[in-house]
Every structure is written in structure tokens, then in C-alpha cells.
Amino acid sequence: MIMMLVLVLGTSWAMVGAITQASRNTLRAQRQTGEALKLAKDALLGYLAQQALSSNVPGSFPCPEAANSIGTTNEGMKTNACSTLPVVGRLPWKTLGIDKPLDGAGEALWYVVGTGVRVAPINYSTTGSLTVDGTANAAVALIIAPGAALNSLSSTSTAPSPCTKRAQSAGRIASTLNAADFLECGNATLSSFTTSRSDGWGNDRAVMITSSELLSAIEGAVADRIQRFVAPILNGTANSTDGWYQNVSFSNWGIKFFPYASAWGDPTANAWCGNFGVFEGLLPIASGEVTTGTTCSARWTSASVSQVSGSGTFTAGSCAATDQLISCSFSYSGTPVLKMTATAPNVAMGFRTLPLSGDVTATPASGYTVNAPTGSIIAGGGGQIDVQITMANKPTSGPGTVSIRHPADSILLNTSTVSNPDLAWFINNKWQRYTYYAISPAVTANPSGTCTSADVTNCLTLTNAEAGTGNVNNKRLVLILSGRPLSGKSQPSSNLSDYFELQNDQTSTAGDREFQRNTISTIFNDRPAVCPFQRQTTGLANVLCN
């Protein structure tokens, strides 16, 4: 009996030891899986944050690696395109800049990219498209640890929907991988995803990436690009040849101007055309190259031509506009010097280009000369162009015309990422819907007061800015990125306070012109960009917008 007792105790001890070791192995595998998923998620969010500094689509997820890349130099690299979404494939770990993460079963991680996070627009309206654990729109992407291969073909039970019976082992060594040989049920069919199952029909473990996590990763970079590129580009209209000139008392040449703001309203329904006399609201980015009669058309509506000097005869005719230009007809002889005057609405309500000599043509088609056009702003924010043309010699009286192309949009409104990369990403992704636009009254087409380093009476003010960013009260331009809706707020909305915090909720016509930069928190997440602005680096001031 003593020997029997010793044998039983020894056997029990061995069984307990085996169970304990199995438990240890299971816990070790689970821990490795969890660490691999965390590493992959952190790396993917870091990749998105870094790419947001330069990408045409900040927040665009990389495609998975190709199904046939195993064992090739492309293993671990993202594919260049994945047009059908959602899409599943191996995690592109090389692209993310990490070593190949393996789960507790020694398997590489898989990765699902949802719709809406591959192409523009990606912004604060971006939501999850993947249903996870029964919750709709729960995630924008998913990272999955496949676990050990399962063989459910021998099961006598009926597979629960959306699971199917499959022997996964053989497919895991195929040259072209099939997601069903690694992932089970909805995770393989891209229908409804689960982070784990307890019924034996699947052993995947997954972590989600939510839209909030995506936006947290990129919004700092978006705000930085608005300060480094968007604000200086808009500010540059005051220094370049691309723009009309500010008019003093509607008669004399002044400096270039900022267009008036589009009065605040629901950004998803706003016309984006500036409103005369409005200094704060939304960016006036509506095109002026539109059909006559629409809200922001800046096409010529009237014109005239007269003789101002020269020799010969001149008899004025009529003027008429076409889709491309406005033309005035006349008859003449000799070499008269003519002046053509044309007027257009809404020139001060958006970003427009001053016509150049090459935009003016005349007939007869050779021998005439054109002076550089001069432009001015007229009452109500319209524009007037005056141009002199010395006609080619005509010995006897005959017909002639002078034509001028309709005012063109500024290159700022060109959404091509090739010709205008530093602003196109902003407009193409509709970040203007979440950006407040404010200008000093002194830098409009019809200026009020001054805003200079010597006289800041009508400048904007930015308080709580970091040390070394320049004076607080000399700002001509303020752009504020709204951040995601805070608690109790909802978007889209016509209510300004649903976007911007109390300190930055200015009225669209007569705000106090004072804005604030504060620490990002649960009660404040506005991110202002301003001009002038400088950035202090290692004791030196790097001017970004002067």
C-alpha cells in the first residue's frame, strides 16, 4: 500500500508538472502574440504620423504585402495599390520599419485595411468602416495574429456563419497565400470581424485601429503643415504676381490683398465664396472661372473700348462675352492707341489672377502692341481692368476687335498635386471644412486702418504662443484647425462653437480679433497657424511666414 501511495503521488506530481508546463507555454505564447500585436499597431500609427508630414493624403494606410511575395525581395513590403476595399493581406513590416513580428505560434501577422482610409478625402469626418465584434463602424483597420493552423474538416458539427470547414496546414506553405488558410470566419471573408472566438472555430487574435486613433496620429502633422505651407502660401499672395492689388479709396494702387472670408455656415453646405466686408469665417476658395450668374463668378460682365491717343480714325462698336473672353468691335484706320476697360464681380471674394499682356488679343492679328494691364478693385469687391493697345497700321478704315480673357483663378486653387503640392493636399482632403480663416481689416481689398510692425492697430492677436514665435499682436492672417468635436459637440454643424473653442469663436463680421493657442486637452483642441510667424530653433529664429 505504501508503494501504491508513492506511485500515485508520483504520477499525480508528474501530471501537475505537465499541466503547469503546458500552462506556462500557453501563457508565453499568448504574451508573445500580445506583444507582436502591440508592436505592429504602434509601428503602423507611427508610420501614419510620419507620412502625414508629406503625403498627398495624410492618414492613408499602406496596402498589405502581395499574396505571392513570400520568399522574394518584396516580402514585408506594401503593394503600390489596393483598389478593392476592404483588403486583407500580410502586414508590410519592412515598410513600417520593424523586424518581422511573429505571434505565439510563430506565424506572421495579417492586416485588414477598411474603406475610406486609402484615398482623399481623409479628415475629421473619416469614420470606421469595419464591423468588429458585432459593433458597426468600429475600426478603420485591423491587425490579426492568425495562431496555429486549424483543421475543422473532421468536425461533425455544423460551422456557424460565417465560418467554413477548412484544413489550413497545406495552404500555409503555398507560394501564393490565401487568407482562409490563416484566418477564420469573418476575418477571412472580410464580412464581420472578431478580435477572438471561444467556440473552437477560430483562434485569431486581433487589435483594432479606430478612426480616433488614426486622427490622433495625423492631426499634429496636419496642423504643422498648415503653419509651414498653407499659411505662407496664402500669405504669399501679398508678394507675388499671382493676385490683384488692394485699392485705397477705390481709386489708387495699393498692395496685394487677402480675399474676404466666406461667412461662417455649415462647411458641408457653404458656397466658399467671400462676402464683401467679412473678415472671419471660411476660406474663400470657390472658383471664379464659372458660368456667368453663379454665386462666385468673376467673369467680365461689361466692357468698353475707346481711343486715347494715336493717329487715324476710330468708331466704337459693341462688346459681347463668350465662354472664354469678352470682345469689343470697332472700325479704324491709321494707328490709334485704344483703351479697353472691363469689369467683373467677385474679384475680391476669392483668389484670382490679374490678367497679363498675353491675355489680351486684337485683330488684325499682327503688328499691334499691348501694354501691361492695370487692375483695380471697384465698389462691392468687383474688379476693373484697363489695358492700352496700339493698333497695327490700317491705311483705310476697316473692322478691328480687342479681346481679353476672363479673370483666371489663382494657382492656389489648382488641386493638382504636381503643380501645387503644398496646398493641393489640404483642399483635396477637405481640411478647409475644419479651418477657420481670419484676416486683418487692413489687408483687404478695401482696407481699414493699418497692420504693420510700426502700427498694429488693426492686426490680429495670438495669445499664449510659444516663446520665440514672434510678436503676439502683429498677425495679418490666422488659420485655426478645429480638431475633432469635443464632448457634447457634433459636426457637421452651422454652429461655430461645435468646431472652435470659446476663445476662438469670433463673429464673422466684427470679432475681437484675438485668438489663442493652448495646450491640447479634452476641453481645448484648436490649433492656430498665423502670419507673421517664426520658429525658434537652437537659438536662431527660422522665419516661416513674414
Rg from Cα positions in the chain: 33
CA distances from 191 to 62, 85, 194, 546 (A): 21, 12, 10, 53
Residues 6+ apart with CB under 8 A from 300: 321, 325, 326, 342, 343, 344, 404, 406, 407
- Would you write out the chain's pLDDT as a tens digit for each of its 546 residues? 777 766 655 555 555 554 565 566 678 999 999 999 999 999 999 999 999 999 999 999 999 999 999 999 999 999 988 878 899 999 999 999 999 999 999 999 999 999 999 999 999 999 999 999 999 999 999 999 999 999 999 899 999 999 999 999 989 999 999 999 999 999 998 988 999 998 989 999 999 999 999 999 999 999 999 999 999 888 875 444 445 544 433 232 335 788 999 999 999 999 999 999 999 999 999 999 887 667 899 999 999 999 999 999 999 999 999 989 999 999 999 999 999 999 999 999 998 888 888 999 999 988 999 998 888 888 889 989 999 999 999 999 999 999 999 988 888 888 888 888 889 999 999 999 999 999 999 888 888 888 888 889 899 999 998 877 888 999 999 999 999 999 999 999 999 999 998 766 554 344 678 899 999 999 999 999 999 998 766 666 677 787
462/319 Cα distance (integer angstroms): 50
3-state secondary structure at position 358:
helix
Instruction: Give the DSSP letter of residue 214.
Output: H
* Range 91-94, long-range pairs (CB < 8 A, 24+ positions): 91/40, 91/44, 91/64, 91/65, 91/143, 92/62, 92/63, 92/64, 92/65, 93/40, 93/43
Matching residue, cell 476595399: 85
Matching residue, cell 501563457: 27
**Helix%, strand%, coil% for the chain, nearest 5:** 25, 30, 50
Rounded to two decimals, what is the model's pTM? 0.88
| Contact present, 133 and 172 (Cβ < 8 Å) | no
